[in-house]
Each structure stands twice: as C-alpha cells, then as structure tokens.
Chain A
Amino acid sequence: MPDSKLDLLQGTLDLMVLQTLAAIGTQHGYGIARRIEQVSGNEVLLNQGTIYASLVRLVQRGWIASEWGVSDNNRKAKFYTITKRGRKQLAEDTAYWERLTAVMGRLMAMPQEGGE
C-alpha cells in the first residue's frame, strides 16, 4: 500500500545518500539505494532510479566523488565516495536536522485543546 509509505521531503534524499556513504564508505548507486531501503525498513517511498538525480547533484557540488570500478561479482559500476567537503556538509546538515526534529517533536507533543 503506497499510501502508507513516507514521501520524501525536498533535500532529504541528498542527506540520506551522504549519510549512507559516510557510514559504509565507497559504494555504487544500486548499493546505496538498497542500503537506504534496508535501513528505512521499506518505509521510504523510493524509486531506485531517483537516486541518480541526487548523486549527480552531490557530485556537482563537490560533496561526493565518483569513479568507474568493478563490483564484487565482477560487474562494471560507478562507485561513489564522500569527500572532505561532503563530510563537513553532512555534519552541518545533521545538526540542522536534529534541531528541527527536536523542535518538531516538542511541538507535536503539545496536548490538543478540546481534544476528543
């Protein structure tokens, strides 16, 4: 039931990709997509194809680097690695994200007036 899956906020996918690369090191597009699926427990509404727009954007900003290589099972694939600037950006984004979720959490926890 696609209705119950989470629609991604603008920019969220970029952050997920950065975090994934920071966590698992060098990886190809398929691997990144699979990892996000696994970690999210299939909660995220994600066509795997959308990952490539995110990847090219991050490469253009210089936050990740790409290189053609060969996978474990001998397939030619493009591998991505997070750069130093990417790590800095990730740290900034993570801090921002945590503050935002904290605030949102507190706001959402307020009791509703005149609730049922």
Chain B
Amino acid sequence: MLDFLQQGWNRVRAFFGKDAMDSDLDEEMQAHLELAVDENMRAGMTQEEARRQALVKFGGVQQARERHRAARGLPFLDVLLQDLRYTFRTLRRDAGFTVIAVLILGLGIGANVAIFSVVDTILLRPLPFQNPQRLVRIVDLTGKSGESSMTYSVDAYDQLRAQNHSYQDVAGYFAFSTADNMNLTGRGVPRPITGIMVTGNFFQTLGVRPMLGRLFTKDELRLNGPNAVLLEYSFWKQHYGGDPGIVGKSIEIDKQPTRVIGVLPESFDFGAVFAPGSKVDVIAPVIEDQMRDWGNTLALIGRLKPGVTIAEAQNEADTLFPKLLFNAKHPEWGSGYKANIITLKDYVAGKLRRSLIVLWSAVGLILLIVCVNLSNLLLARAAARSKEFAMRTALGAGRMRLVRQLLTESLVLSMAGAVLGLGVAFAVVGYMAHQGSIALPLLSTVRVDGTALGWTLLVALAAAVLFGLAPGLKMSGGNLQDALKDSGPGMSDGRKHERMRAALVISEVALACVLLIGAGLLLRSFLRVLDVDLGFTPDHAAAIKIDYNAPKLADVGPAFQEILQKIDALPGVEAAGISDSLPLSWNRSWGLSPKGQDRRKFQQGSFVYMVSPGYLNAIGLRLIEGRDFAWSDVDGQQPVVILNQEVARQFWLGEDPIGRMVQVNDKEARVIGVVDNVRQSGAEKKIGWQMYLPAMQWWPAGANLVVRTKLPPAALAGTIMKTLRSIDPAQPATEFKPIELLVDHAVSPRKFFALLVSIFAEFGLLLATLGIYGVISYTVTQQTQEIGIRIALGATQGHVLRGVLTKTMRLAIAGIVLGTVASLILGQWIAALLYGTRPTDPVTFAATIAIMAGVALIAGYIPARRASRIDPMVALRTN
C-alpha cells in the first residue's frame, strides 16, 4: 500500500518535473544504444550495421519515451492538457462561433443559477431559525375577513400557552403594524420608522439570539414599564452606522424615551419571513395588559415539543381552540376559535411552491433549448471539420480519443459559459434582492451562495455532456471513407447528418413553443388581474401617513377638518380625505350584525375604515345610495355607518338599507350610505364585508391623507408637506406615495412570475430562431452547387426561394405542432396559477403559433433569398 502511495507521489512529481525526467531518459537511451553498438561491433559487425541492429532491437525511441511518460507521470492529465491546448487553439480560430456559444450558454446558465438561488432561498432552504422544522404557524385559514379572523386575542393566547401540551412555547406578533408606524423623534424633523411588536418570548421561540445586547426583560413587558426596542441589523447599519455603542443608549420614539437593548443578527429579517415586501426597522415588545381589550391582534407561532407531530398538534387544537375565551373579563362575549397548524415554512412558502416550480421548469427548458442550439452549432462545425477528424483517425487516433477531444471542447465552452452565467446570476440576484416592493418572502435574502455555485457546476457539466455528446459520437462514429467522400467537392451533406439537425431544430421550436404558450397564459392572467374592478380608483391619487394632534376624541374632527381645508385649497388638488386604513394594505375587522338579531349568526366580521368626510371621494369609491359623512357626525350624536354592497345584500337582500340600525362591536349605528365593494385583500381575493365609520365618533388608528390630483404626486409632495408642517411643525418626513403602488405591491408576485417567464420565453424564441436560421443557412451553403446547377438548368429565383422556404416551414410546423400538443397537456399543470384564463386559451395559442410561424418565415427567408441569388457560374466555378 505504502509503495503505491509513494508511486502516486512520485507520479505527481514526475508530472511537474517533465523536462528533467525526459532529458535523463534521453541520456539513458543514448547510453543503451552505445552499449548495444559496442557489443555488436565486438561481435564483428561494421559500425553502420551495429548501429542499425541496435536501433531495430531497441524499437521505437519515441514509443519508449511515451511509455516511460505514461508509466511515471499522470497520463490522464497529460492528455487533458493536450486537449485543452488544442481546444483553445481551435476556439480562438473560430472566434465568432466561440463568442456566440459562450454568450447563449452564459445567459442560459445565468438564468438557471439566478432562479435556482430564488428557489433555494424560498423553497429548499430551511428558514433561518433554530430547528425550523419544529416551528408552526397557528392560524385560522378559514377566516373570511383578513388578519382579524386569522389572529387571536391576548386572553386566548394566554389560555393557549397555559393549556396546551403540544408546544415548547407559543409566541406571537402584533399583526396590525403598518409601514412607518413609529417616528424617531428628538432630533429635528421626526423620521418615520417601521416597528413591530412581538411577545416577550418571540426570539426564544424562534431560537434567535441578539447579535449585540439582550432580549426583553419581564420589567419591559409590564404595563407602564420602561420602553425598550431591539434594532434590526440593516437599520442599525444604515441609521447608526453599525455603532455598537448605541446598545444601552436611550433614543426617542414617538416622543417617548426608549432604550435600545440590542441589535438582531444579520440573518434575522422580520419582513422577509413574516411580511413579504416590507422592511422592519425596530422591534418592540407586546405589552399584553395594554392589548387585552383590543380584540384579535396576535399572529401566533408555536415551537412543537420534540416528538409531537403536526397531526397531534392539530388534534389538540381542534378540541382546545373552540374553548378559548375571546375576552376573559367578558366570558359572555363567547369563545370559539379555530386553528390550522401548518409548518411555518409551508405558511411562508407553500403558496409559492407551484409558481416557483413552474419558473424552475421554464429555466430548465431554456437550458435545454440552449443545449439543442449548441448541439446544432457543433454539428455544423463538426461537419466542416470532418476532414480534420478523418485525418486524425487515419493517423491513428482512437474513437474514444476523438470523443474525449470533442467533450473537452464542449466542457471548455460550458465552463466559460458558466463563468459568464455566474456574472449574470450575480447581477440578476443582486437586483432582485433589492426590489423591496416585490412581496415575495425571503427575496431580500437571496444570494448566489455555495449551493448555487455547486448548482452552476452541475448545470454546466450536464449541459456540456448534453450538447457535446451527440456531435461527438456522431463525428467519431463516422466512417473514414464516408467522411473523406462526404467532404469531397460537389457533394452535399450526408442525409444522416441532415436528419439529426432537423430533429434538433424541431425540438427546439417545440420547446420554445411550450415556453411561449406558458408565458402567454401567465401574462394574460396578469392582465386579467390588473383589469379587475378594485372598487376604488387607484390612479391619480396618492396618500401620505400623517400625524395629528388630538388628545380627546372631540379634537379629532377639528384636527382633520383643519388639515383637509388647507390641503383642499392647494392648486391641483381635486379631493382630499383621511382614513386610518387604506385598501390593499392592513386589514382590521370588527363584529357587525343587524340590530336585534343574534350576533352569533354573523361571525364573519367586517373590515373597518375610520374615515373623514370626503374620503370616499378622494379614494374614488362610488357612493351607491345615501350620503357621505358630515363634519357634524361627531361623538355624542347618533352613531352612523356606511356599509359596502356586500353587507347590505347579506343583511337585507332586496330591501332598502338606509336608516336601518346595525350593531358595531358594542355600539349601535345607523346606516346612512352604501358604497361599492373594495377588493381589500387583493384583486384575486373574494370580496369581504366592509364598513366605514366617521373618525370623529371612533378613535382612528392613525391617519392616511389621501389626495386626488391630476398632477404627478412628486410635484405635489413638497407643497403638501409644507402645508402639513404649517399646521404641525413636527410632521414626520413620510413619503407621499401614489395609491397605484399599493396595487403594484399586491400584484407584484404575479407580475414577478409572469415577467420572468416572459423574458425566458423571448430568449427561447430568439434561440429557436437562431437555430432555424443556422440550419437553413448551413444547408443552403452546402447545396450551393446543387442550387447553381438547378438555376443553370432553368429554375427561376421564385422556385428556389419557395423551395428553401418550404423546407423551413416544414421544420417549423412540425415543431409548432409538437409544442402545441405538449402545451395542451402541460397547460393543466399550471391551471392553478392562472386567473380568468383557461389553460387552453385560444387567443394565447393562436398568437403563439402566429409568432412562431412568422419568426420561422423570417429566419428562413434570409438564407432563401441568398439561395435564389446564387450565380450559377460562380457556384459551379468554386470547385
């Protein structure tokens, strides 16, 4: 054993000490021959004869040298280096081919690596917590009215913690935070920041330790205890320049002194996991005693005890949750929760699984098309090199040796492609990670990491074998005689070659067809979603989160009225109003039932908007009957409410709702108006119950000023801010955002997928076009003489043109038919991702077929025209 280790080591040394070993051997062989000559001459030969005999007996000097090298060194590496040198030489000679091959490979591999990184981050990799497989989301998935029906009250949470046997611990976060819900005050203009409140055991449950400082203490979870926040890593870096000294210091949030107790690690990004598409800056504790009467506010996460399965936890939940009280002080308000126990991973990524797999398949198809294309290019090149290979075979190269040479070439190409592809992937992934507005979980944490590098290597190797093997075997398998004959003058290419290339082009067209149809279906669905009537008018309106000064409920009206009067007076403002909740953003819901009926029959709950007079107009919400709120609808007057059509229909189908009384939580209110339904949770979601309450009669949870204007929001932002500051100089510098952004945010995942698949489809189309062009153009070149003869014999230009085009279209149509049939089958598979579009959508299919055929026609026309212009005299003279 040791001997062979030693031999291995010596081989490596010999590999690097080639020259010294060679000259040593040469000297030795020289001595050998001299010794032989001496002996032969002693036996009586002439010097010449002695020399000749010695050489005969020795055998080939070169062969001996080769054997010596093979025995002592690393022959595999030697051959590889030789092949590499040869490959670089030939590729450099064929620069055009090399550039195109590396370019399409780079794009193909780059797309694959980028999408793999996304898939890996969202789907494959475990969540960035300790033992993430034991983390579950406890949520009522049957809830019909947004977050409120999916969350739990503080009392229910406490009972759950005390009574369950399934969890090591249950933690939660306040589900109704909005962007810019806090202000960093104390230093000049308040700076809006986004904070989220979590239960005291939140980080312990997830298994996240602060990078600096500590977590919340019991004291800080107490009502009126000291204020404390944790900073998210990115906020700490950006706002505090990564200064560790901030820990322990006191800052001012909403004018309250608050201690910074720690900084969370970089790997923890609350928004990325729990609120896709949003950024959280600071984390504050849930003060349970403060929120006890706020209703359903907590989104729950549990860590299962070791050995407890999801099914067991679900079983327990089925019996335990119906018994949990809504409010412990008011048992008469009832109990009756439901809960679905799903893994946190499923909750975060489950909905996206199919989309991501479709995306992954799309890039896979792209790579396949790239490989087919390259296979084709290589085949054409191989045909042109058939003489070279015949020559090498004649000189003694074995079949395997030639295949190896060709595979080395494709490996070099695909590795170059992989390097370029990595560059592409880095750029794309970097871009995606910074698209904060795309509401996909974990997207901000996407990186091209070690796993992605491994994937790149795998993809590149697979590609090299895929596109290199066919031409390799084809080439080396060719009969020597055939090859020499085939490339003889005046002969067109062998039939076998042509058939293989045709098959490749057909499959390429078919694959591109599948991609185009898939992209078409997704794109149409996306457009359909954009066409959905949202119930309000998002364009020409913008909103800004504002602060107002109202210590008493009676102050809210005058405060809003002052703001709105001044804003209304600004030039360009058509309408203005205030609401504490905007469409397509956070969704709070309250109990709502017709007066005099059993509340328990109306469990659904209704979205709540506390608005100022004029808000309906500003957001573009149609008042169907009745009136808008007036400034006189104040606290102490008759409580009033405006309902959406859906509620009116469910409560009093066919009767006039105006003037009727409803029960809103524990107050009675008179219905004064009915408005259109708003798609609160997203364009694709069902319509829920909605009610609008005058902000003057209830405590609004904040204020969003909505301004309807024909001016671009940016042009108005300055004057609006100046006006707001003239009322309250401490107005934080929040952004004046177009309402359309809310819509964009809501449809961003669909847009993301549709856009990416479309880009891939276009790339596929381009490649297929190149493929058709390449093959037809090559055939024309090969048949120059034949065509020349036909023209000389009287074929017209039109004849030749038609001939080539017919050939092109025959390939294209075969591919289109194949691709269409495949799409019909595969369409069922993406049906779940479509919206308002059937997987057999005739428009998409017709458009794809037309595009594909049109592009094929153009790709064939260029070489066809060239063929028809062949001058028979020139063509026949070339040989």
Enumerate chain A interface residues (CB-CB to B < 8 A).
28-31, 33-34, 47-50, 52-54, 56-57, 59-63, 71, 73, 75-78, 85, 89
Contacts and interface: CB of A to CB of B under 8 A. Distances in A.
B71 A61 contact: no
Nearest to B35: A30
Given A30-B35, A75-B34, A60 B72 contact: yes
A24 to B, nearest CB: 15
B68 interface: yes
Nearest to B60: A49
A50 B64 contact: yes
Interface in B61-104: 61, 63-64, 67-68, 70-72
By DSSP majority rule, is chain A's interface helix, strand, loop, or mixed? helix
Contacts of A33: 32
B72 A57 contact: yes
Given A30-B35, A53-B64, 16 more contacts: A28-B31, A28-B32, A33-B32, A47-B57, A47-B64, A50-B64, A52-B25, A57-B71, A60-B7, A60-B11, A61-B7, A62-B6, A63-B3, A73-B38, A75-B35, A78-B27
A54 B68 CA distance: 8
A75 B42 CA distance: 15
A52 B10 contact: no
12 contacts: A47-B63, A50-B64, A50-B67, A52-B25, A52-B28, A53-B71, A60-B11, A62-B3, A62-B6, A62-B7, A75-B31, A75-B38
B29 A49 contact: yes
A71 B31 CA distance: 10
Contact of B64 (A52, A61, A76): A52
Interface in B203-224: none
B613 to A, nearest CB: 96
Contacts of B68: 52-53, 56
A62 B7 CA distance: 8
B59 interface: yes
Residue of A50, A54, A60, A62 with highest tally of chain B CB at under 10 A:
A60
B4 interface: yes
Contacts of B67: 49-50, 52-53
B789 interface: no
Residue of B6, B28, B61 with highest tally of chain A CB at under 10 A:
B28
Interface in B6-31: 6-7, 10-11, 14, 24-25, 27-29, 31
Contacts of A59: 10
A47 B56 CA distance: 8
B824 interface: no
B56 to A, nearest CB: 9
A60 B6 contact: yes
A56 B72 CA distance: 6
A54 B70 CA distance: 11
Nearest to B32: A30
Interface in B136-153: none
A28 B71 contact: no
A49 B30 CA distance: 11
Given A30-B36, A48-B57, A61 B6 contact: yes
Contacts of A53: 64, 67-68, 70-72
B829 interface: no
B651 interface: no
Given A49-B29, A49-B64, A62-B6, A77 B35 contact: yes
A61 B70 CA distance: 15
B333 interface: no
Contacts of A30: 31-32, 35-36
Nearest to B8: A60
A77 B36 CA distance: 12
Given A30-B31, A52-B67, A60-B6, A47 B14 contact: no
A77 B25 CA distance: 11
B58 interface: yes
A46 B786 CA distance: 56
B61 A49 contact: yes
